[in-house]
Amino acid sequence: MRNRNYNKNMKMTQPRFGEMINGQALGSVSKLRYGLCPMSFNGCEVISVHNALVYLGRPAAICEIARYMEKFKVLLGLFGCNVYRIGKALEHFGVKYDPVKTFEEAENAPAFIISSWTGRRLLSSVHTVFCVRENGKICVFNRFNGCGDVRRFDSPEEIFKGRKLIRIYKLAQCQNEKEEGRK
């Protein structure tokens, strides 16, 4: 299925290389395949890794990311990606991270990926987003399926409004550190 989806995706219109993706049900990313479904349905983990790579200045084609992450799909991709394996994808693409379980542990992280339940634990779907701290706010990319804008919040609790967190990936290498290393 990995190669079939990859070949099919490569023939489709791609999101602009090196740009953040918001609204997985919008634009060309919505039609790309992951598992048995289009990414509009189950692509949030792939999009989160994509956005993290763009932020870090190491963009990769979304088709390449999806191809790698198909190893970790849940029930043929019907339920997206195993959120406990997002770290493997980050590692594969050369990103250092720390998996943490609470917002407090990610308090000083300039960038992170968060997975949480959308409703009741184990009885609802999961959504994963990429976040960046900027000017005292938390900028959330791909906040909702049909949201084409970056959403800004004052606190992590505001983002999920009491929904149960599953995992946070605190990125250890951030854009500013990378730029300082180039000088």
pLDDT per residue as tens digits for the range 88-108: 999 999 999 999 988 888 888
* pLDDT at residue 50 is higher than 90: yes
Domain boundaries, the chain: 2-172
Q: What pLDDT score does 39 carry? A: 92
pLDDT of 158 > 80? The answer is yes
As a whole number, mean pLDDT of residues 136-156 equals 91
Say if CB 42 and CB 72 are below 8 A apart.
no
Range 107-135 average pLDDT: 84
Per-residue pLDDT at 29: 95
Beta strands at 126-134 and 33-34: parallel, antiparallel or unpaired: unpaired
| Percent of the chain residues past pLDDT 70, beyond the cut | 89
pLDDT of 173 reads 64
pLDDT for 75 equals 75
Nearest to 111 by CA among 167, 168, 149: 168
From CA 13, how far away is CA 2, in angstroms rounded?
18
3-state secondary structure of 39: helix
Judge contact between 113 and 86, C-beta under 8 A. Answer: yes
pLDDT at 7: 86
pTM for the complete prediction?
0.89
* Helices (H), ranges, the chain: 2-10, 39-42, 44-55, 62-69, 86-92, 156-160, 175-182
pLDDT tens profile 51-87: 999 999 999 999 999 999 998 877 766 667 899 999 9
Residue 177 has pLDDT above 60, yes or no: no
Check: CB of residue 49 under 8 Å from CB of residue 63.
no
CATH number of 2-172: 3.90.70.10
